[in-house]
Every structure is written in C-alpha cells, then in structure tokens.
Amino acid sequence: MPSNRSLASPRASWKILARTAIAVSGLVGGAIALASMAPMTSAPGPLKLLPDGPLSARPVPLIVGVGVHFGIGGDYGYDPARTAQAMQTVGASSFRDDLTWAGFKGAGMNAPGTMRPGQAAFLAATRARPLFILDHPNPAIGGDGVPVTDAGRAAFAGFARDAAQQTAARRPIYEIWNEWNLNAAPAMGKLVGRAGPGDPRGGDAYARLAAQATAAIRATQPGATILAGAAGTDDGWQWVRSVAGGGGLRGADGLSVHYYNHCARPENRTADEAIDKMQALHGAMPTRGGRAMPIYVTEIGWPTTHGGSCDIARNDSGNNIAQFLLWSAATPWMRGVWIYQLKDQGKRPDDIEDNFGLFTYDYKPKPAACMVRDVTRLIGRAKSWRVDQPQPGLTVIRMDDGQSRKLIAWTDRPSQTAQLVLGGAPTPYRTVCAPDGPRDTTIPIGSRPVVVSLAGKATPIRYRMM
C-alpha cells in the first residue's frame, strides 16, 4: 500500500507525498466516457504533421495486476470469490499481496510456513499469477523485528527460501520487502532521499537484505522472478540509486517502485507527471549487457476521495490509470504495473486509504474498472507499438495486432483538448470504455484516451492543440 504497512491497519499520513509534489458493458455508460472531451473554446493552434515511423515489438507482454489485501490480516472487506471475479472482470493477470514473515512463520521460525486462511482461499479461487511481497517485521528476531543485523538478515533469507519452496507451483513473482525506506526504522520515521552513514533505512542497508534474500530464493527456485526495491516516496530516486550502487539489484530480475502524486499540486496529479518520473528513473538506472533495467511499478493509483485536500474525481482517476497502462504497454522496459488497489478497503469518503479501489468497498465498479478492462483487451491483442509525444500535453500511441492498426491519443489534463486530422475517408473512433463512435476525419481528443481504427493505406495524420 502507498505507505508504511501495519498488520493492524494500512492507513498512514499523506503529508510526505505533498512534499514531493460483473459484465464490462454494464460498468459505465457512454455519457461518462465522453465527459473528458471538453468543449474546444480557445483559438486552435496550427496543424502540424504527426511523427510516424516503424513500430516495435515488446520482448514480453506487459503484466497488468492489482493489489489485494488478504495477507496482512485486518478487515478490509476482501472476499476470495468476489475478488477473483472482479479481477477477471477487469482483465488483471496478476495480484499483489503480502506474504508476511511473522504470519507465514507463525508456528515458529523452523516450522513449515502457512498462509492465512483467506489468502489460501483466494489463491485457490483465482488463476492469476501471484506477486508475493516478502515483508513485515518478525518479533522472533528481537528488537523491532526488522532484519537490519547479520542474524536478522540470515533469518529473513531463510523465510524467503521457505516461502519460495512452498509456493513454487504457482510461479509467483517475489518482491523483497515493501517500502524499506519508509518503515525500516519505526523510531526514526520515514526516509525520503539518500540516507546518512549507518542509517538502517538507507539503500545500502536494504541492498544487503535484498541480495541475501535473492540468493536464498535462487537456491531453491533458480528460474523465479525476483524484484528488488519496492521503494516508497523517493525524491529524485536517490534511495533507489543507492540500492543499485550497493548491489541490491544483483541477481534480481527487475527494479520495483511505487509512485503516487495525488497529494501533489492539483495540476500535477496526472499520469503524465508519473510517466515523467518513470522516464527519469529509467535514465538513472544502470544497464545490463547494454540493456535497460526492467522496471515494475508495483503500486500506483489515484484515490477517489471527496471532502479532503487530495481529492481526485472518479473519471480523472480512471483516465490517469488508462493513460499510464497504455504508455507502459508501449514502453518495452516497463514490465509490469499493479494498480493499487482492486477495491476500496473502507467506506469513509474523505479517507485516502479507503478510496483507491477500481471498485467500491462493496464491489460496485467505478469508471476506472471499465477503463482497465478496455485497456487490457487492447494491449492484450497488440504485437507492436510506437509512442510519441509530438508536443507537451499530447500523447499518441500506434499499435498493431497483426490484423488491424489502431491509434490511441489523449491530452494530459481535462482542461486540455486537441484535434487529429486524418486524410482519406472518415474513420471510426471512440473513447476508451465507450461503444463504437462516429466516423470522421477530424477527431476531438481529450484526457479520456481516444481509440481510432486505421484502415487501408497509411495516410499522413496532422494534429493541433486547441
């Protein structure tokens, strides 16, 4: 979750973020799908030629997952069967949940591990691939239970090895800890940025734990997918850089990070701002054999609160999620995105932690649920991609599924609009999560992604900002 995790409650303060700046057709109607196409009232800009060029295939399909809460205990309203059905509805291929150290080893450090009953029931109810977060303090090692000593790290590595042995049949992805920089030293509070010498919250301290746990998992599951990082709020990716510099990614298959901007300035609570941060992270990471370090965003989301200081409208939240997923699918070094979270974990309208869901607490779909389902269908069929940002404020993706070509475009904010002007015959288009729309050669673009079906011989496409 987007904060320091607690077995008693996942809620946390969001002040730190302010500092860093079941059928799909019944989910939502076409009216809300068209809501983001704001009227074009300002003088239009000049027409410019849209960039074009070859499309590229991804090395592997993008994993689209969701966060759930079965592993940390507490009452967040998650039902195994309804959760499995909701995941199928939105097309999520993976779920992310805690496999807590103290919970799994509740019978003793040397005893076989066991899952919580609800987690085991959910695992039996879904075919989705698990991402297990190996985390949480264990009082059995003494102190505050965080593995910051040699003995603690050895004990945690033993837990990681046992967890990998007992869950191997489901081919999980394993993530080493969760937001170490925010919770490794409860008495010291959260760390944002690079730590001082000897600080247990620092990236070098985490790197030692991650390297040892990764080696333990590899010893029993050589082909396992292992993620290191799981970074919380990290200004300038300083903490992540220190993890990489300390060898924390050695042996791991990718770097995992979390990103939230819902408490940033209102104009920065967008997918575009998050994309900029991912591109900066990509540029800061070392390469392996000339190839980019794969990045897995294991938490991202926009809570649909109202009555607070970090409010996001439901349609805007859905637009942000759809934009981020589409860009990630078109970006080959982005390997997976887990939306936080599948459903609301509470019912308080002004509580941030309660309102991240694609569904409400009672499993009623929000607009984002339909948008995720539409996007997962689109990206699941695509074989090759191209993404362009011809100028700030407009993103255009081309995709080809081997049988048809599509263009998907959006503006960064609800207040921005644009036009695409196509040559040739009128072309069908629609907004994400809307039925097939009209045909035209001039297509309005707003913050809800617009899907344009391209047919026949390729013709130049022009655009302008409105």
Distance between CA atoms of residues 79 and 221, nearest Å: 30
Distance of alpha carbon 228 from alpha carbon 179, whole angstroms: 10
E-strand stretches of 68-113: 94-100
Cα(75)–Cα(310) distance, integer angstroms: 24
Using DSSP's 3-state secondary structure scheme, residue 279 falls into helix
Type and span of the H or E element at 341: none
Residue 48 shares a structural domain with residue 125: no
Judge whether 21 lies within some domain: no
Distance, CA of 132 to CA of 145 (rounded, Å): 20
CATH code assigned at 152: 3.20.20.80
By DSSP bridging, strand 173-176 and strand 129-135 are parallel
Bridge pairing between strands 63-67 and 334-339: parallel
Amino acid 194: pLDDT: 84
Place of tokens 């070098």: 204
Q: Which two tokens stand for residue 250?
A: 């050695």
CA dihedral sign of residues 165, 166, 171, 172 = negative
End-to-end CA distance of the chain: 38
Phi, psi dihedrals of residue 3, rounded to the nearest 5°:
180, -175
In-domain check, residue 8: no
Place of tokens 């941060």: 277
Domain for residue 14, yes or no?
A: no
Sole residue written with tokens 């255009």? 396
Residue 455 pLDDT: 83
Tokens of 331: 């970006």
Cβ(64)–Cβ(371) under 8 Å? no
Same domain, 325 and 309: yes
Same domain membership, residue 341 and residue 402: no
pLDDT per residue rounded down to tens, the chain (466 residues): 565 333 333 434 443 443 333 334 344 444 444 444 444 446 788 999 999 999 999 999 999 999 999 999 888 999 999 999 999 999 999 999 999 999 999 888 988 899 999 999 999 999 999 999 999 999 999 999 999 999 999 999 999 999 999 999 999 999 999 999 999 998 899 998 889 889 999 999 999 999 999 999 999 999 999 999 999 999 999 999 999 999 999 999 999 999 999 999 999 999 999 999 999 999 999 887 778 889 999 999 999 999 989 999 999 999 999 999 999 999 999 999 999 999 999 999 999 999 999 999 999 999 999 999 999 999 999 999 999 999 999 999 999 999 999 999 999 999 999 999 998 889 999 999 998 889 999 999 999 999 999 987 778 899 999 9
At position 161, the amino acid (one-letter code) is R
Q: What is the pTM of this model?
A: 0.92
Domain count, the chain: 2
Mark whether 391 and 363 lie in a shared domain: no
Whether 388 contacts 437, CB under 8 Å: no
Of 382, 397, 432, the last residue of a domain is 382
In this predicted structure, what is the pLDDT of residue 207? 97
Cis peptide before 341 (omega within 30 of 0): yes
Q: Both 92 and 167 in a single domain?
A: yes
Query: According to the model, what pLDDT value does residue 191 have?
Result: 92
The pLDDT of residue 12 is 46
Q: What pLDDT was estimated at residue 329?
A: 98
Confidence at residue 193, expressed as pLDDT on a 0 to 100 scale: 82
Task: Provide the CA 178 distance to its chain's centre, in angstroms.
Answer: 14
Does residue 19 fall inside a structural domain? Answer: no
| Structural domain that includes position 425 | 30-53+387-465
Q: Are residues 201 and 247 in the same domain?
A: yes
pLDDT at 291 (0 to 100): 82
Tell me if 232 is assigned to some domain.
Answer: yes
